[in-house]
Homo-oligomer: A and B are copies of this chain.
């Protein structure tokens, strides 16, 4: 275990600790993704679900339930629910972003078409919905239906911020809460609720998931301007090319001089982008401290996530969740 601690990344240690449950989730995924009548469904989803996703969200649900002493089987259904919702949003995002690559593979909408991405995404949402109904907890259904609305609202809100240089930080936070944190917090919170945990523990695990998700997305947005394209299976400069006002850009705009403002207006608001513009953008973000300031915000969220764990009982799983929060930002140190 101590050797593992040195050599394995936190999510790999979590995956090892939860191996039996994750095997159960994989079995449920295969079973519920199947369709007797529409073989294209498993074809499209297998592409995404087998593509080496880290099963991060299912692990959050299972870890939360186990930390609250759960011994039933509903947490596997909820973990599968959460992975299906995640996969469905990826499918719909592929249509939306016209993106050409996801996790280092061609996206479903290039391999298939927009139509399949939309409809198979809808199918996964419906299957997720069936799975959560099977857990027979109205409180869990309430959590997950609210998360679904927050996710969809955040996605639409993000659309309206594209190329919009007056996007403020409050709007950005709403966007990334919808995009990432809402499902993270629903994952941990529903795990606690299905275990029958007391309210304060449910609230703590919700807070942990929310803060972890916020940190995770800020780091993702940060890496778009500075990470290695290989390491994260996402192309450097994607957000830049789409004109997405992410935190580094919002911070840079707040401290821009006239020349910089003119630059951002051309490349983001007018999306008139030329060779060398991405490199120039990265140079501004570094020089003005905007990137460093975004990294600091991610670290603040990590601190919030870790603090939320304090009230939970001492447990190896709690330690792993704590390490996971730290690791999210280590990616960019």
Contact = CB atoms under 8 A, between A and B. Distances in A.
A126 B126 CA distance: 11
A300 interface: no
Given A41-B153, A156-B40, A145 B120 contact: no
A263 interface: no
Given A116-B156, A116-B159, A118-B92, A126 B142 contact: no
Nearest to A39: B160
Contacts of A115: 95-96, 159
A125 interface: yes
In the complex, which range does the number of interface residues on chain A fall in? Answer: 35 or more
B40 A122 contact: no
A159 B112 CA distance: 11
Contact of A159 (B119, B145, B149): B119
Contacts of A40: 156, 159-160
Interface string A87-125: 001001001100000000000000000111011101101
B122 A152 contact: yes
A1 interface: no
A327 interface: no
B96 A155 contact: no
A4 interface: no
Contacts of A155: 119, 122-123
Given A38-B156, A145-B126, A114 B116 contact: no
A149 B123 contact: yes
Contacts of A171: 37
13 contacts: A38-B157, A38-B159, A40-B159, A41-B153, A92-B122, A95-B118, A116-B156, A123-B149, A125-B125, A125-B148, A126-B149, A133-B138, A136-B138
